[in-house]
Chains A and B, each alone.
Chain A
Amino acid sequence: MTEQTALERRVQLWFGPQHPGITGNMAVQAWLEGDTLTSGVTHVGYLHRGFEKLMERRKFIQSFPIVCRICVPEPDTNEWLLAASIEELSGLDKEVPEKARWIRTLFLEMSRLSSMLMVLGGHVGAMGLGTAPNWLITLRDYILDRFEELTGARVYHMYVTYGGVRRDLPEGFAERLEANLQEIESKLPLVDNVIFDSAVFRKRAIGVGVVPEEWVDELGLTGPIVRAMGIARDTRTDYPYEKYGELDIEPMTTTGSDIFARAWMRRLEIAQSIDLIRQILAKMPTEGPYSAKLPNMLTWTIPAGETYVRAEASRGEMGYYVVTDGSDKIRRVHVRGPSYVHGVTLLERLMPGTNIADLSALMVSLQVCPPEIER
């Protein structure tokens, strides 16, 4: 038998799009030597719907039902970003009532919490441990129940609108939300036990998928990936929007920068989110309007301008770059999702040297959300 060259030993493997370990509908074209990746390329486009084109054809109010569909686990950040950017360009942001701002903050934080509950389960689910994901998805369902009560829908809410929100909080909402939070808190020690004390998870997560600190500025990394390196950067505190500036909030950090650190980061942020929701409920005014007076949405035009608005999604900084030209439609919108960098450039850099079995755990820990990359 003749000796094989390195090139001959390489095997090309398509990981996805039809693969249960992939996050969403995307693919990774991987080259392997043995079971170690030598390189890989991310392929997206399986979920492309052309949002940015469709929004150029729709009036401002008609864009709400489609923007929330940009990211399924956490649609509300998109709604808020569209509302905030258009309000800023039209000057409506000065008229948003106090109570609407509090409700929006609550809404955004609930959405972060539901998304993080899901992704924490994904961390161990990607390693084949099924218990914690099943628990956490059920816990997330409690938050979805409150969303349903508030907005009428479980997943896509279309609740934030220009000048405020669509309806007031129902009576007794705070108590029921508090009961859900207590239920979630009571289950979290069990979840900790099966995730962070699990020998399987510790062995496979500690020291795997380390993101070096030099890449933060070079690649523009944001969110839990950065905070898991010990750098305290959080859009909610760095650029306080809505009522985050009035809350007692500190960016959570941990060290290690590996898969375990990022999972632990999510666990810390779940606790932080629960605390923030309680603070918001305590500080929220009970009286007052929940929406500003809106102009006729069918004929509403706003002046020409450009802006960039950012918010902290559970994955990192999400931003909308919006250009208007004085007509009744958006001229151009660019959705800057955190996964755009995390899922393509960062993932491709981390892939060489990774074991094929760790690849899906790595993708979950970067929280790659493909619809955000291709829109």
Chain B
Amino acid sequence: MDEIIQRIRDNFGVLREHRQRDDLAEVWIEPRHVLPLLTWLKEHTPFVQLTHLSAVDWLEDGEFQLTYLLTDPVGRRSLMVAVRISREEATAESVHTLWAHAVTYEQEINEMFGIHFPGSPRQGVPFILEGWDDIPPMRRDFDTVEYMNRHHPSRPGREHTDPRRYIGQVVGEKGYLHD
């Protein structure tokens, strides 16, 4: 693992790195290095499987983070490759030529976050939602309660209670539930 991360550092440049567990490391790289790095990892290292691809919305930084989780099924370890892209542009390179099932992940991210992957098939084809007419729902600035109030009327008489009122009495001095 250390050797591969060292080679990524030398050849591609690492913005930030983190070792979560013995079998799980994460590297942050620049967007232009995504396709070359993933191609190299798939062709020349044991990290051959794409376990998942997901996006994180960092609204306060104005950035999206894409996380590619690669797995080495023989060596039993995983590497997360993370990349930050601008929130306005929201475009990233597609990796569907490396892994066929990346098409589904990119289709879903396109629908739920509004990130565009040029060249990937099924971009813009609805995957989960149907007839959606708002901003992509997984973005942080999408307010699900406000949307619910507009579209899905609640039954009158529903009470909202704050659990703090009841549980607060049981919690002990130190704040432990089991005291």
Q: A and B from one assembly?
A: yes
Instruction: Kindly identify which residue among A238, A293, A306, A346 contacts B18, using a CB–CB cutoff of 8 Å.
Output: A306
Shortest distance from the beta carbon of B100 to any chain A beta carbon, whole Å: 6
Stretch at the interface among B3-11, B85-93, B149-157, B169-177: B169-177
Write the B122-137 contact mask toward A (1 if CB under 8 angstroms, else 0).
Answer: 0000111110000001
Which range holds the interface residue count of chain A? Answer: 35 or more
Q: Is the CB of A296 within 8 A of B171?
A: yes
Stretch at the interface among A99-107, A215-223, A267-275: A215-223
Q: Is the CB of B104 within 8 A of A340?
A: yes
Q: Is the CB of B127 within 8 A of A238?
A: no
- Residue A374, interface by CB 8 Å: yes
Q: Is the CB of B101 within 8 A of A219?
A: yes
- Residue A48, interface by CB 8 Å: yes
Q: Is the CB of A345 within 8 A of B100?
A: yes
Chain A neighbourhood of B175, CB < 8 A: 295-296, 299
Q: Is the CB of B73 within 8 A of A233?
A: yes
Instruction: Kindly identify which residue among B54, B82, B104, B167 contacts A334, using a CB–CB cutoff of 8 Å.
Output: B54
* A interface secondary structure, majority: mixed
Number of interface residues of B (CB under 8 A): 48
* B interface secondary structure, majority: mixed
Chain B neighbourhood of A217, CB < 8 A: 48-49, 73
Q: Which residue of A lies closest to B70 (CB)?
A: A220
Q: Is the CB of B99 within 8 A of A306?
A: no
Measured CA separation A331–B140 after assembly (Å): 10
Q: Which of A342-363 contact B (CB under 8 A)?
A: 344-346, 349
Q: Which of A318-375 contact B (CB under 8 A)?
A: 319, 321, 323, 331-332, 334, 336, 340-341, 344-346, 349, 374
Measured CA separation A298–B177 after assembly (Å): 10
Instruction: Kindly identify which residue among A233, A239, A307, A345 contacts B20, using a CB–CB cutoff of 8 Å.
Output: A307
Chain A neighbourhood of B167, CB < 8 A: 298
Instruction: Kindly identify which residue among B51, B57, B73, B127 contacts A319, using a CB–CB cutoff of 8 Å.
Output: B51
Shortest distance from the beta carbon of A4 to any chain B beta carbon, whole Å: 29
Which 4 residue pairs are nearest across A and B when measured between Cβ atoms?
A334-B54, A45-B128, A296-B175, A345-B101
Q: Chain B residues in contact with chain A, CB under 8 A?
A: 18, 20-21, 23-24, 26, 48-52, 54, 56-57, 67, 69, 71, 73, 76, 78, 80, 82, 99-101, 103-105, 126-130, 137-138, 140, 142, 144-145, 163-164, 167-168, 171, 175-178
Other than A220-B101, A344-B104, give 6 A-B pairs with Cβ distance below 8 A.
A88-B20, A218-B100, A233-B73, A296-B176, A321-B69, A374-B127
